[in-house]
Amino acid sequence: MKVALDAMGGDHAPAVNIGGAIQALRLYPKLQHLYLVGEQAALEAECAKQGLDLKDKRVSIVHAPEVIGMAEPGAKTVRKKKQSSISIAMDMVKEGKADAFVSAGNTGAAVAAAILKLRTLKGVDRAGIASALPNEHGQCNILDAGANPEATPEHLVTYAVMGTAYAKHVLGKKNPTVGLMSNGEEDEKGTTFTKETFKRLKETPGINFIGNVEGHDLFERELDIVLCDGFLGNVVLKTAESTAKAVSKWLKSEIKGNLVRMLGAVIAKGAFKALKQKASAESYGGSPLLGVNGVVIIAHGGSTATAVRNAIRVGMETVDHKVNPHIEEALAALAVSKTPAQA
């Protein structure tokens, strides 16, 4: 298994990327080779600083002189900066030099480069990002979390099939549940768009569609995939993340205002730590961009070294469990099942 890592991507690059690389090389024997794609001198310096030995045969730097900034417009910049770490690493996947690409960099650019260079899988019109939220039963994946702000009902049906394949084969769910994000759980809730999507999902064989879902379902229900367009998915993820942060911050500030409470918090600190672990994106690490002809894992821009390491793990598992062939197979079966009805 060979992985190409965008070593320059993310808010804390290249430090966390190299830190994540060190962890991955130590923890994952299946990782035969890790390509650190980015600016050679900067990466050599960071490797020296963190003690990553570049004489190790399992790791090497692939020089990419250009960097795509986190705030640059994705598609446009990918076309302009042909020597960026994202472009060069994506080419490596295209040419089969790497089995998976992992990036904590500019999401728009990674998605645009993936579509441009890898193209979509057979039967897929739109790729979608599956991003995990912690849930009482494990994790709940928002799909699409932001690859494409707008979508049609047909796109959401494809997301449902792709998400089902991912949850089955990577997350080990036997019969993954799929919900449609809406403004209420009743069947008749929603917009023209969600109502049409609801109808299509009801008619789609091979998925376990449980109907409309809302806020509390994300955390309490056994819910594997939540479908929405990338605009809504992105807003939901950011809202959840920001709320969790605000709640922790306010609780800490209430505690700090009072010496007795501070003592209590010191005693209870293990609980805060455990919660942080559970609620953190760190342990999921990476969100697969489903639907492209190659394995591309998008990590959070604010990733830590552990998050980068886990994104590499998710990439390896996605390759290992043959998610893309499973998606193509499921979509082909769906196309066959549709034919008689349309005839």
**From candidates 30, 49, 245, 338, binder to its own copies by CB under 8 A:** 245
Quick check: 183 binds its own copies (CB under 8 A)?
Answer: yes
CB of 216 to its own copies, least distance (A): 4
Single out the residue of 31, 24, 327, 309 nearest to residue 297, CA to CA: 309
CB of 229 to its own copies, least distance (A): 8
Which range touches its own copies (CB under 8 A), out of 36-44, 215-223, 285-293, 303-311? 215-223
How many distinct helices (H) and strands (E) make up the chain? 13, 11
The residue whose two tokens read 């904590």 is: 104
58 near 25, Cβ under 8 Å?
Answer: yes
Instruction: Assign 279 to helix, strand or coil.
Output: helix
Calculate ∠ Cα 67-39-301, nearest 5°.
50
Can you name the residues that pair with 102 across neighbouring β-strands? 5, 297
**From candidates 271, 325, 332, 335, binder to its own copies by CB under 8 A:** 271
Q: Which pairs count as long-range contacts for 171-178, CB under 8 Å and 24+ apart, including other chains?
A: 171/138, 171/139, 171/224, 173/224, 175/208, 176/208, 176/224, 176/225, 177/208, 177/210, 177/221, 177/222, 177/223, 177/224, 177/225, 178/207, 178/208, 178/209, 178/210, 178/224, 178/225, 178/226, 178/227
DSSP assignment of 129-146 equals: EEEEEEETTEEEEEESSS
Which range touches its own copies (CB under 8 A), out of 27-35, 109-117, 216-224, 328-336? 216-224
**From candidates 77, 87, 106, 194, binder to its own copies by CB under 8 A:** 194
Window 137-166: residues binding its own copies (CB under 8 A): 146, 149-150
Q: Quick one: CA dihedral 237, 238, 242, 245, positive or negative? A: positive
CB of 259 to its own copies, least distance (A): 10
Window 223-242: residues binding its own copies (CB under 8 A): 229-232, 234-242
Quick check: 182 binds its own copies (CB under 8 A)?
Answer: yes
158 near 291, Cβ under 8 Å?
Answer: yes
The residue whose two tokens read 């043959």 is: 322
Q: What is the largest CA-CA distance in the chain?
A: 75
Q: Which of residues 39 and 144 has its CB atom nearest to its own copies in the complex?
A: 144
Q: Which of residues 56 and 150 has its CB atom nearest to its own copies in the complex?
A: 150
Can you name the residues that pair with 213 across neighbouring β-strands? 181
CB of 148 to its own copies, least distance (A): 10
CB of 124 to its own copies, least distance (A): 21
Q: Which of residues 141 and 182 has its CB atom nearest to its own copies in the complex?
A: 182
Quick check: 181 binds its own copies (CB under 8 A)?
Answer: yes
Window 31-70: residues binding its own copies (CB under 8 A): none
Window 66-105: residues binding its own copies (CB under 8 A): 71, 73
Quick check: 341 binds its own copies (CB under 8 A)?
Answer: no
Count CB atoms within 10 A of the CB of residue 35. Answer: 22
CB of 277 to its own copies, least distance (A): 9
Q: Which of residues 175 and 258 has its CB atom nearest to its own copies in the complex?
A: 258
Rounded distance between C-alpha atoms, residue 64 and residue 71, angstroms: 19
Quick check: 191 binds its own copies (CB under 8 A)?
Answer: yes
Quick check: 250 binds its own copies (CB under 8 A)?
Answer: yes
Binding site for its own copies (CB under 8 A): 71, 73, 136, 146, 149-150, 181-184, 186, 188, 190-192, 194, 214-216, 218-220, 229-232, 234-248, 250-251, 254-255, 257-258, 260-272, 274-275, 278-279
